Amino acid sequence: MMAVPSLTFSNGKTMPQIGLGTWMLKPDEVSNAVKSAIDIGYRHIDTAQLYNNEKEIGDVLAEVLSDGAVKREELFIVTKLSFFNMAPQCVRANFLDSLKKLRLDYIDLYLIHAPMAIQ
């Protein structure tokens, strides 16, 4: 297993400094990439609504969590709110959609993908 340095937030939660970015990974590629990354020791997985691969990542996460390959608390999962969905009335529904697609009870870090408004 590779040793990865981590950052510690003020609440005590840690985030591995090296993670697997899933941008531009197509749905049929991302499953193998995420599974392989977890197998070799990655614990930080970065995705976003705009990447259109949260569901496939969620399927892999469900698989590795259910087979005991890794525990949920060992993973640091990041996803991002699309700038198309930043209207206050849209945020919660989109967060819940990402949570459902990722098949998780919580997301470790939820970011605004691009801090700008699209009118």
Instruction: Cite the active site residues.
Output: 51
Strands 76-81 and 44-46: parallel
Report which residue type is found at 59: D
Q: What is the DSSP letter of 52?
A: T
Answer for the pair 56, 31: CB distance below 8 angstroms, yes or no: yes
Strands 76-81 and 109-112: parallel
Answer for the pair 58, 104: CB distance below 8 angstroms, yes or no: yes
